[in-house]
Structure 1
Amino acid sequence: MMTLDDIDHALLRALGRDATQSAGALGRELGLSQPATWRRIRRLQDAGIIRGRKLDLDAGKLGFGVTVFLGIKLATKGRVSLEDFERAVSAIPEVQTVEHVLGMYDYRLRVTARDIADFERVLRRRIMTLPGVGNVDANVLLSEERRPGPLG
């Protein structure tokens, strides 16, 4: 495991706030030169600490007004491989995240849809027909507050 210093932590916090900043801008904020900042970013990427930069889209403004979290318990663990289920569920465009979890459910999915009727269509025609699906529990997202991660 790579040892991070205070500058690495500050760099990660700054990128967490705005991943589009240039190495020069980040360097000015942290008191480093642009090349030194770039080398640190590259080292963090090579170590797998920075895995990429993501685009954060507003689903509601794109016409997807409903987000539902599904807890899925597989009915036949022995007959359906987890990889088969994961591959099938990941192919559904409305499924934003697939998390294999420990507890009451085997999987937690984040599903976006245009409205409740659209979600019902996705649930009935796509998710409930997946191999091995047993119990499904749904929670509709009412609001979301984003908090900084452990480095924030």
Structure 2
Amino acid sequence: MDDVDRSILAVLEKYGRISNAELAARVGLSPSPCLRRVRRLEETGVIRGYRALIDPAAVGRSLRVFAGIRLVRHGRKDVVAFERAVVRLSEVVHCHHVTGNYDYLLQVEVADLAAYEDFHANRLANLPSVAAVTSYVTMKTLSADST
């Protein structure tokens, strides 16, 4: 991967729906070589896909909560059982296996606090090997996209 590939990736990361002609102009290539590079990046798995970023509030998921999960047991069987169960929960947007005070950090999106309370009590806390859940309600989210 060279500097041109890195430039292509930087532009695509910010403007995923950009046309090939515009991408080529931004990175200083003609369209054909640019398209070849993009296809090679896709074929080699550097570019894993393209997604739409959905406004959670527009689809009834205006409350974002980060949940720190501690497991009772850390054997492979217990970890696999937890991971298989947690990825099936539609409210969980991201699940990260982390170091530190928690074993997992989840990003959860639900309609409101009552929906999170129900999710926490009836689904999250009942996952295999969950010992404790610590919740952090998001008050505001900042990103480079929001400036």
The TM-score with structure 2 as length reference comes to 0.92
Corresponding residue for residue 93 of structure 2: 96
Q: Please give the secondary structure, in 2, of the residue aligned with 1:72.
A: strand
Matched residues in 2 for 1:140 and 1:80: separation?
31
Where in structure 1 are there 5+ consecutive unaligned residues?
Answer: none
**1:102 is matched by which residue type in structure 2?**
T
| Residue 12 (structure 1) aligned with residue 9 (structure 2) | yes
The TM-score with structure 1 as length reference comes to 0.89
Partner deviation per Cα, 1:42-92 (whole Å, 9 max, x = no partner): 121222221111210000122211000000000122385211111101111
Corresponding residue for residue 82 of structure 2: 85
Runs of 4+ in 1 over 3 A off after TM superposition: none
Where in structure 2 are there 5+ consecutive unaligned residues?
Answer: none
Contact 1:27/1:33 (<8 A) preserved = yes
Contact 2:78/2:128 (<8 A) preserved = no
Corresponding residue for residue 55 of structure 1: 52
Matched residues in 1 for 2:19 and 2:3: separation?
20
Q: Alpha carbon RMSD of aligned pairs, Å?
A: 1.5
Residue 120 of structure 1, aligned match among 117, 120, 127: 117
Q: Please give the secondary structure, in 1, of the residue aligned with 2:106.
A: strand
Matched residues in 1 for 2:134 and 2:120: separation?
11
Structure (1/2) with the larger helix percentage: 2
Matched residues in 1 for 2:99 and 2:43: separation?
30
Contact 1:70/1:138 (<8 A) preserved = yes
Partner deviation per Cα, 1:85-107 (whole Å, 9 max, x = no partner): 11101111111111111111110
Contact 2:125/2:132 (<8 A) preserved = no
Matched residues in 1 for 2:43 and 2:58: separation?
35
Contact 2:93/2:109 (<8 A) preserved = yes
Identity rate, percent: 36
